[in-house]
Amino acid sequence: MSRSPFPPVPAGRQEIGIDVDVLFGALPSRRLDASLDAATGQHVKHRIRRGLVCSLRGALFDARAGNDELRKAGDRTRFVPVGTVDVRDALTADTEIPRMAASGVRLLRLFPPEQWVEPDSAALAHVVDVAVAHGLVLLTSGDFSRFWRPFAGRGARVCFLDVHAYRVADFVVLARREPGFVASTRLLCGPDSIERIAGEVGAHHLAYGSRAPLHDVLPSALRLRTAGLDDEAWRQVAGGTAAAWLAEGA
């Protein structure tokens, strides 16, 4: 009998509560199905109950149209809409962020690298300030070693979606003085990356993310399920951190 190449999943870890890194829309440059149906399929297959989803149209083309498209689409029991703004035209944040907040959207996703925005951009700092003033939780892509700067010292609650295993020490040092900093687990693939962050600053500084359906969900889901965490810490990472954001906005 052949043996599975994967380590066994501990009891009670079959279902992941919330995925904080889901995208939806068309990618003209890639032959890839990034529809909500595709994201749903991956989540069902890998037993992920809910996802925080943002529009690729909003990220790459038209923020307002993308925000409207997403709020009208999908099953709200599975997907929570995440708004966005185009940092390249940061003045629109003055109207778009209040509009989203008034409609009940409590999360804002930023795409600085994809929009060719530098960490020291005045526009990025402005968007962060407006979002914080409206009580939004921020999600952002970008190399953590560069993109922590515009969020520090502002009282921001922000999930960094691209914290790599090589940046664990950087994240821990900053999270010690920034209580709102959270790392997605997607790239924390080192043998002790998740465990080290949880042990140093607490599991509430971690949240599960997959980047479904653009990326294969299996590696991130399996790494979380086999993480060396106690049951309470595991539940916090697998959904508790994100659930607290949603509860605050309820």
Q: What CATH number did the domain enclosing 115 receive?
A: 3.20.20.140
Residue 181, in any domain of the structure? yes
Number of domains forming the structure of the chain: 1
Residue 24, in any domain of the structure? yes
Positions of the chain with pLDDT lower than 50, given as ranges:
1-2
Residue 10, in any domain of the structure? no
Task: Count other C-beta atoms under 10 Å from residue 104's C-beta.
Answer: 10
Residue 66, in any domain of the structure? yes
Residue 2, in any domain of the structure? no
pLDDT of residue 29: 65
Residue 7, in any domain of the structure? no
User: Contact at 8 Å (CB) between 194 and 163?
Assistant: no
pLDDT of residue 4: 55
pLDDT of residue 1: 46
Residue 6, in any domain of the structure? no
In the structure encoding, which two tokens stand for residue 166, read together?
Answer: 């090589």
pTM for the model: 0.94
Residue 11, in any domain of the structure? no
Residue 120 is part of which domain span?
Answer: 16-249
pLDDT of residue 31: 74
